[in-house]
Amino acid sequence: MNTITSSNFTFPGQKSVYKGKVREVYNINDELLVMIATDRLSAFDVVMPKGIPFKGQILNQIATKFMEQTKDIVPNWLMATPDPNVAVGHLCEPFKVEMVIRGYLSGHAAREYKAGKRLLCGVAMPDGLKENDKFPEPIITPSTKADNGEHDEDISREDILAKGIVSEADYVQLEKYTRALFQRGTEIAAERGLILVDTKYEFGKTKDGKIVLIDEIHTPDSSRYFYAEGYEELQAKEEPQKQLSKEFVRQWLISNGFQGKEGQQIPEMTDAYIETVSERYIELYENIMGEKFVKADITNIEERIEKNVLAYLSK
């Protein structure tokens, strides 16, 4: 099946291109950003050798639809979606922190907790919790935004302010927006029979100094979801929760001896396995969005994207 794992466009007014782990961002005249969601799959901060059919479309459509559903509480960078894999928006200066918010003791927080830590990013975690238990209230555990594909690092609010990474006034606003978005995401998830466990948000500043939400929101790559049905039962039996997130890929990699550490080989992803990952992403989309996923024409993805973006930019 056709996938897009990299792009090499030259759009009118193009100033530069930034290639992230999954997205490629084209700067147009220092005013607009054209963000292309590729089908690349990244886990443990490593990009896998093969693309996942429809993954870019799924991530782009979830993110842009959630931007629409939250713009009444938090302004965002988005202007248009001229193609299933493309978002176009205002050029922003990104804050160098990711705002991670956790409603439950899962993933990284659970691993730290298991290692005996009760402070995460300067925030206290109560004693006596089991993995996947709900926190008394959501905690914000920021991380530094790594450049060049390095690992993001945990950082406390105090360190962010002390190092001048973000001003206090801006940081207070980021925290406020993070809590409001998580609350809205939690409500939307509950309507679909899901629990929004944890997620991360990224923010930037527009040229006129306004703080806006950028990048992705509530996607299975940036968030963890559980099914609400059966949650209590599984917790009581201390069994793993059924997850809607990229965690299933991480678990497969771990079981095949890969965690992104030096000297480890990425296990071979057969076409059959790639297909199951694609199907799982479609299942995630349909559960998270509460609607059927409509596959875009992938006969020639690059040609389709170029045509749609050029048509938009010529307006």
Q: What is the spatial distance between Cα 50 and Cα 4, in angstroms, rounded to a whole number? A: 10
pLDDT tens digit sequence for 199-220: 999 999 999 999 999 989 999 8
Band (pLDDT 50/70/90 cuts) for residue 146 is low
Q: What share of the chain is helix, strand, coil (3-state, %, to 5)?
A: 30, 25, 40
Q: Which amino acid is at 129?
A: L
94-244 homologous superfamily: ATP-grasp fold, B domain (3.30.470.20)
Q: Of 123, 283, 280, whose CA–CA distance to 198 is shortest?
A: 123
Q: What is the structure's pLDDT at 198? A: 97
pLDDT tens digit sequence for 174-196: 999 999 999 999 999 999 999 99
Q: What is the spatial distance between Cα 309 and Cα 297, in angstroms, rounded to a whole number? A: 16
Q: Which residues pair with 18 in a beta bridge?
A: 25
What's the gap between Cα 32 and its chain centre? 21
> Higher pLDDT residue, 47 or 150?
47
